[in-house]
């Protein structure tokens, strides 16, 4: 599935004013992470910026440390950091739901014996793994030119299955392969409206279950 994400963009898609964005040293960015949700750093007349929240889910917090913090300057420059934090908040509040579609498991399905095991994988856990693996693939594919693509790829990874969250389905715990994709795309468009690479993200979400 992750490999399909790479067919929706080229290395020139995520620059700002056609110029690469320079990364801040990871150590400097890390120092800002513990700031509480909703506050902004205005000390020493610095430019106001979105602060990263702390998450109670350990997997989400690790994801922030490994995938968001090192590229924070690029997320901010592409105006994607606030939206990413909104997605992470959704997972922190509702991501303990199963990552599989329950009605997919037909009694005669040859994989039915694996249902109980797979149902223990939460949506947060699945999504975190997808995001981390997507960044690994991105680095391998583009090596030194991957940084400006990170926000788009992270949003693709985080948002592709958010339609499985019951809270986004009027409390309905059941979903199908088709309808959760529609909800995922709609919610992503709502959160990231106006960002220039959004159409490619929506296209990737809409097609991530299709063969080829």
Closest among 149, 49, 131, 118 to 88, alpha carbons compared: 131
Write the CB contacts of 83 (distance below 8 Å, at least 6 apart in sequence): 155, 191, 192, 195
Cβ(167)–Cβ(92) below 8 Å: no
> Which pLDDT belongs to residue 112?
56
* pLDDT tens per residue across span 161-182: 999 898 888 766 666 666 888 8
Write the CB contacts of 192 (distance below 8 Å, at least 6 apart in sequence): 80, 83, 155, 198, 201
Arithmetic mean of pLDDT, 65-84: 95
Cβ(152)–Cβ(197) below 8 Å: yes
pTM metric for this prediction:
0.74
Rounded CA-CA distance 180/3 in Å is 20
Residues of the chain above pLDDT 70, percent: 62
Rounded CA-CA distance 119/77 in Å is 38
Closest among 93, 70, 92, 91 to 81, alpha carbons compared: 70
């Amino acid at each position: 599935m992750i490999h399909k994400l790479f067919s929706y963009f080229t290395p020139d898609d995520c620059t700002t004013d056609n110029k690469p964005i320079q990364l801040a040293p990871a150590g400097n960015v890390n120092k800002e992470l513990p700031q509480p949700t909703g506050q902004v750093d205005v000390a020493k007349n610095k430019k106001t910026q979105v602060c990263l929240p702390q998450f109670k889910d350990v997997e989400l917090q690790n994801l922030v440390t490994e995938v968001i913090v090192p590229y924070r300057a690029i997320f901010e420059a592409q105006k994607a950091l606030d939206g990413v934090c909104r997605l992470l908040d959704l997972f922190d509040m509702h991501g303990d739901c199963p990552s599989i579609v329950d009605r997919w498991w037909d009694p005669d399905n040859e994989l039915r014996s694996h249902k109980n095991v797979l149902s223990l994988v939460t949506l947060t856990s699945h999504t975190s793994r997808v995001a981390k693996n997507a960044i690994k693939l991105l680095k391998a594919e583009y090596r030194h030119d991957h940084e400006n693509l990170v926000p788009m790829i992270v949003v693709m990874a985080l948002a592709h299955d958010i339609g499985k969250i019951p809270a986004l389905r009027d409390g309905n715990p059941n979903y199908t392969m088709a309808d959760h994709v529609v909800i995922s795309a709609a919610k992503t468009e709502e959160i990231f409206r106006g960002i220039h690479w959004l159409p490619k993200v929506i296209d990737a979400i809409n097609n991530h279950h299709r063969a080829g």
